[in-house]
């Protein structure tokens, strides 16, 4: 059985390892999966009669693990809050919420994650 090793830049936490293993082990022909969030790699042992490397890459790409994790760049230009007060951003602006989050700011929960995290959706429940 052949092995396929892929770099997954967006697999940066243990919850991603669990999700990547789940996705791959559901595919017919996958015999074993080793995934590491520390090294951001996955090794897949598969039956090449049932599965191709392109099919494996397609599943991981659709789940958002193959591309680079989008991170906003820090600039020397001050950001502006709604009240017109300027400040320098030492944190990140998140596309999903349209807000800048820092340690001293309370962010309302809007039913969606604050950062792009493959395999993770909004937290439900109380």
Taken in order 33, 24, 57, 62, the sign of the CA dihedral is negative
121 domain residue, yes or no: no
55 and 79 belong to one structural domain: no
> CA triplet 118, 72, 36: central angle to 5 degrees?
35
pLDDT in tens, 88-120: 545 555 566 666 555 555 556 566 555 556 665
Distance CA 68, CA 10 (A): 6
Residue 25: the pLDDT is 95
Domain tally for the chain? 2
Domain containing 46 equals 3-63
12 domain residue, yes or no: yes
pLDDT in tens, 11-39: 888 889 999 999 999 999 999 999 999 99
Residue 27: the pLDDT is 95
| CATH number, residue 17 | 3.30.70.100
118 domain residue, yes or no: no
Residue 106: the pLDDT is 58
pTM: 0.58
122 domain residue, yes or no: no
50 and 76 belong to one structural domain: no
């Amino acid at each position: 059985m052949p092995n396929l090793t892929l770099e997954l830049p967006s697999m940066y936490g243990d919850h991603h390892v669990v999700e990547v293993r789940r996705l791959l082990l559901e595919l017919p022909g996958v015999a074993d999966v080793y995934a590491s969030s520390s090294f951001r790699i996955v090794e897949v042992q598969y039956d090449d009669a049932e599965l191709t490397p392109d099919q494996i890459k397609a599943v991981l790409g659709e789940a958002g693990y193959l591309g680079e994790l989008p991170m906003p760049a820090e600039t020397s230009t001050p950001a502006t809050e709604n009240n017109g007060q300027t400040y320098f951003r030492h944190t990140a602006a998140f596309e999903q919420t349209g807000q800048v989050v820092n340690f001293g700011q309370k962010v309302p929960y809007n039913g969606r994650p604050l950062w792009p995290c493959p395999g993770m959706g909004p937290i439900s429940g109380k």
